[in-house]
Structure 1
Amino acid sequence: MTNSPGFDASRMLSFDLETTSKFPAEARIVTSALVRIDGREVNAVEHLADPGVEIPEEASRIHGITTDKARAEGRPHDEVLADTVTAIRQAWEDGLTLIVFNASYDLSVLRKLTGDFTVTGPVFDPFVVDKIKDRYRKGRRTLTDMSQHYNIKLENAHEATSDALAAARIAWKQVKMWPELAEMGHGELMEMQAVGYYERQEDFRRYLAGQGKDTSDVNTAWPMQS
């Protein structure tokens, strides 16, 4: 990926998954939302998948999709996966930036499910940018909490399209607050996020280790690039 002109908040594809598990290595897609913003044109598509496995009650309580609903109304899982990856790759080919809140999760899920998904275009992660640019702010940084902080309306938390729209709006607000983000080339922007994510995760790993807790699940890589 070249160090091409920076993030254009008028041209983005905001992406969100709801899944069967909080662990990327075992998660399968339940819903996939893709909100394409290109100037004044906004096109939102949400795919419901039959994940092919039972959806745990814990996951259903979060996103509201039960196993019965997914089986009755969802499309085959691999079709939804393929359509999702195709849309992301097309957006990159068209020069759009991919917006993903907590990209290390969603993109890891795609990598695990496809076996070969790599990041070949720019990614903007509002969660990581927030932790870098407002490092010492206290409080939680869930999408709900950050929507409140940035004065963004989150219509229905954990409904994939609503989450994707909220992430796009937060990204837009962040660029207005820190205009230097828009001036960074794509390579520079990606490096900033990757380094910042690594540093924050290392801080978290050391904290857990100091508490005598398991650190094996702490991921320090953000995100996967070809």
Structure 2
Amino acid sequence: MSDSFFTPHHMCSFDLETTGPNPRTARIVTSSCLDIDLPESSSTGVEPHLVTHNWLADPGCDIPAEATAVHGISTEQARREGSPHAKVVKETVAHLYTAWEEGRTLIVYNASFDLTILQHWEPTFEVRGLVLDPYVVDRALDKYRKGKRTLGIVCEHYQVSLDNAHNSDADAWSAAQLATRLADVYPQLLTTPADDLMALQTEWHRERQQSLREYLERVRRDSHSVETEWPLLGPLVQH
């Protein structure tokens, strides 16, 4: 990766909707990969070439009501219309590998969640190319801005549209637009070699999470769920 760079003109944006919030146990309900291309010489207003790949999975278990309330997919719909969970995992991983082989930057908002889920169900999964995580970048480069950093709130801050939130392809598209906007605001993202950009994001995330852990410990609150790894979570360690 050392000679490559992030370019908003050649991306694959990825998002999952799942059965729950724990990336080590959650199963996939929907998976979306958006391949996005835009000629570098294009003038403002030229529409990108967008190819969308969507999967609906039967997770092999009941989808909790609270998860259905977020993404709108019921157990009955997933069983009736979904592909086997293992097949969706395999095809999603294969598509990410192809995207990296094509030199695409993988855009994933809160990458350690989505990518850890893939590795949990496909233990051989590995990161083979550049990942840009707008969640990590925004928290690091605008660290003193107050408020939550959910996808919706961050999109609003950068004036990026987010329609049909918690639909995986809609979230993936908004994350891609957000990555492009971040590159406008922070042009160093375009000139930092891929290996260095990966290392920076890893360190930014570790520092931010370690600071959060120390704060929680100071105020005598539970910090065991604060994890510092990126873009894949390691074994769960009790603190």
Which residue does the alignment assign to 2:98? 90
Letter in 1 for 2:33: L
Matches within 5 A, 1:1-226: 2-39=1-38, 40-224=48-232
Cα deviation for residue 116 of structure 1 reads: 1.8
Cα deviation for residue 147 of structure 1 reads: 1.0
Letter in 2 for 1:111: Q
Give the secondary-structure state (helix, strand or coil) at the position aligned to 1:101: coil
Question: Could you tell me how far apart the structure 2 residues matched to 1:45 and 1:153 are?
Answer: 21
Q: Deviations over 1:183-214 (max 9, x none)?
A: 01100110110000000000111111122222
- What is the RMSD of the two structures over their aligned residues, measured on CA atoms? 1.1
Contact 1:30–1:51, Cα closer than 8 Å, also in 2: yes
Letter in 1 for 2:28: I
Contact 1:35–1:44, Cα closer than 8 Å, also in 2: yes
Give the secondary-structure state (helix, strand or coil) at the position aligned to 2:51: strand
Residues 63-72 or 210-219, more deviating: 210-219
Give the secondary-structure state (helix, strand or coil) at the position aligned to 1:36: strand
Letter in 2 for 1:131: R
Q: Deviations over 1:63-95 (max 9, x none)?
A: 111101100111111111111000000000010
Residues 204-213 or 103-112, more deviating: 204-213
Question: Could you tell me how far apart the structure 2 residues matched to 1:113 and 1:100 are?
Answer: 18
Contact 2:33–2:52, Cα closer than 8 Å, also in 1: yes
Letter in 2 for 1:6: F
Give the secondary-structure state (helix, strand or coil) at the position aligned to 2:229: coil
Contact 2:30–2:56, Cα closer than 8 Å, also in 1: yes
- The percent of aligned pairs where both chains have the same amino acid is 44
Give the secondary-structure state (helix, strand or coil) at the position aligned to 2:221: coil
Question: Could you tell me how far apart the structure 1 residues matched to 2:36 and 2:104 are?
Answer: 9
Q: Deviations over 1:28-55 (max 9, x none)?
A: 0000011101224210121100000110
Contact 1:91–1:98, Cα closer than 8 Å, also in 2: yes
Q: Deviations over 1:80-137 (max 9, x none)?
A: 1111000000000010000000001001111111112111100000000000110000
Contact 1:5–1:183, Cα closer than 8 Å, also in 2: no
Letter in 1 for 2:10: R
Question: Could you tell me how far apart the structure 2 residues matched to 1:178 and 1:110 are?
Answer: 30
Letter in 2 for 1:8: T
Question: Could you tell me how far apart the structure 1 residues matched to 2:165 and 2:67 are?
Answer: 13
